[in-house]
Chain A
Amino acid sequence: MSAIYKRELNAYFTSPIAYVVYAVASFFAGLLFVATVLEGDTSDMTYLFRNMTTIIIMMIPILTMKLFSEEKNKKTEQGLLTAPVNLLQIVMGKISAAVTVYALLMVLFIIYALIISFFVTPSWVLIGSNILGLLLFGTTLIAIDTFISSLTESQVIAAILSIGAGLLLTSISMFKNMVDIDFVNDIIDSIEMMGRYENFTLGMVKFSDVIFFLSISVLFIFFTIKVLERRRWN
């Protein structure tokens, strides 16, 4: 696992991918920070964190799109799958590299908190819960988008489908009550991510929310392994 993790991490930083993602994400985060916190003369970053999800939905597919699709396309997966490692190690190596790159982005919010601390003591607990929420939200998306990447040989298709999946999962509550079937609404309720994420932005770290995000991640890691396994049999 560590070999794959190291290789993927290296690939992110020896290519422009990680830097482009950081640049774009911090540009928009910076705009939001200036517009809502500095201009609004407040120490409340809730608005910033809530709007970060949109940016992250666009950025994470860029990190995950090549993870498996490129391996398949360039036939390098043959090297991985014939090496003495199991599929879980391969998938975990790749996902944890993407999570690492993503987690480094959180440094941004610590910098913002430090800027606030020049004027007023920020609520560190609130910021901590926000960062934890954003981390869990991103990790879940990474797991889902990695799964999507394992389905196709094309990075572009993987990226577009991933953006679509992210948008759907965060906006699905809008479709609630459109149909008058309890069963459907129950499903929408149970996979709705935004409500759970918003709890974190309000400083509420609920155990059930943490489990929710982690279990979806585990589920999609499992799906990814199944996709790779299935390919061997076809």
Chain B
Amino acid sequence: MIEVKNLVKKYGDKVAVNNVSFTVNEGEILGFLGPNGAGKSTTMNIITGYLSSTSGTVTIDGCEILDDPKGAKSKIGYLPEIPPLYQDMTVKRYLEFVYDLKRVTLPRKEHLAEVCKVTKITDVYGRVIKNLSKGYRQRVGFAQALIGNPPVIILDEPTVGLDPKQIIEMRNLIRGLGKKHTVILSSHVLSEIQAVCDRIVVINNGQLVADESTEEITTNFTGMKRIQLHIDGNDNTVLMTLRDVDGVTRVRKVMRTIDGFTEYIVESKAENDVRKAIFRAMAKVDCPIVMMRNAEVSLEDAFLRITAGETQVNRKGGR
């Protein structure tokens, strides 16, 4: 449904998006994940035709965004990071304007009523947008994207600034969309994407660093154990010894602690318990362990690890 190929966007010398490719299949909800400033919004702006890429192509349901911008744009409903709302208009007037702008042919009154019902803004239909709360404004922005029932919906950080209850409502809304639409959803919060998306694309510094199903990403990064250690001893000796311990998959020196020791993070497969082995190995090289505890592995850690580029994640899906 959506095909992004070798997308590059340069601002002068700065490369904002560097050779990003992925595809989104019909009816799929794709999570677009990355830290702030990674190039998420730029990529989305290119997909929707707001910006032009330096090179690379974007095809929406067979329409190339540069060759047939009207065709491609008419297939997309877009909610940018800042909803494009005219503050002085009432919700009704604004949605009617969007309806006219997009040249929708569906029966006007019924269609707008349905969109309002789905996004739960019927009770503010007659109010002026600038007087609405942030949550309502976001939903009006969402409604605007849904007008005309476009097959592709692109949402740029749709839950930013919402309260927890609204976030849950928004998630349910997006999940509901997935049945009838192809959705791209960007966020820098992994748990949010995990809750609604079938597949996750991770972007960092303008580059694609992972493209996997949500399940894979979760098991890849939660199927391990992590131990936090404070050890007294020479850095190299400690690192070498820890790496040699059976079952240890990864060792990282974190920092110097206040009391003069060094903190390490040791990772192992979930099924291996390496604590005793570490104790013995450290005793052998005379590097006393002054603290050892289990550290939680969260999805946020996984996310940070992927975006920090520390591990090689196998790339597939859109490739």
Contact = CB atoms under 8 A, between A and B. Distances in A.
B88 interface: yes
A77 B74 contact: no
Contacts of B80: 75, 78-79, 82
Interface stretch (A5-13, A46-54, A145-153, A192-200): A5-13
A86 interface: yes
B49 A81 contact: yes
Given A81-B50, A84-B73, A75 B101 contact: no
B87 A10 contact: no
A125 interface: no
B49 A82 contact: yes
Interface residues on chain A, size class = 20 to 34
Nearest to A90: B101
B49 to A, nearest CB: 6
In the A-B complex, the 6 residue pairs with the closest CB atoms = A79-B84, A3-B100, A84-B74, A3-B101, A84-B73, A76-B84
A233 B52 contact: yes
B85 interface: yes
Contacts of B103: 84
Contacts of A14: 88-89
A85 B45 CA distance: 16
Interface of B: 11, 45, 48-52, 69-71, 73-74, 76, 78, 80, 82, 84-89, 93, 97-98, 100-103, 144
Interface string A60-91: 00000000000000111111111111100000
Given A2-B100, A75-B80, A86 B88 contact: no
B87 A74 contact: yes
Contacts of B70: 84-86
Contacts of B88: 11, 14-15
A82 B100 contact: no
Contacts of A81: 49-50
Contact of A75 (B51, B73, B82, B144): B82
Contacts of A78: 45, 50, 78, 80, 82, 84
A160 interface: no
Interface of A: 2-4, 6-7, 10-11, 14-15, 74-86, 232-234
Contact of B101 (A15, A74, A80, A86): A80
22 contacts: A2-B100, A4-B101, A6-B100, A7-B86, A11-B86, A74-B87, A75-B84, A78-B45, A78-B82, A79-B84, A82-B80, A83-B73, A84-B69, A84-B70, A84-B71, A84-B102, A85-B70, A86-B69, A86-B70, A232-B50, A233-B51, A233-B52
Nearest to A74: B87
A82 B69 CA distance: 9
Contacts of B89: 7, 10-11, 14
A197 B89 CA distance: 38
Given A76-B85, A79-B98, A232-B51, 12 more contacts: A3-B101, A74-B86, A75-B80, A75-B82, A79-B101, A80-B84, A82-B73, A82-B76, A85-B101, A86-B70, A233-B51, A233-B52
Contacts of B45: 78
Nearest to B46: A232
B287 to A, nearest CB: 56
Contacts of B144: 79
Nearest to A70: B86
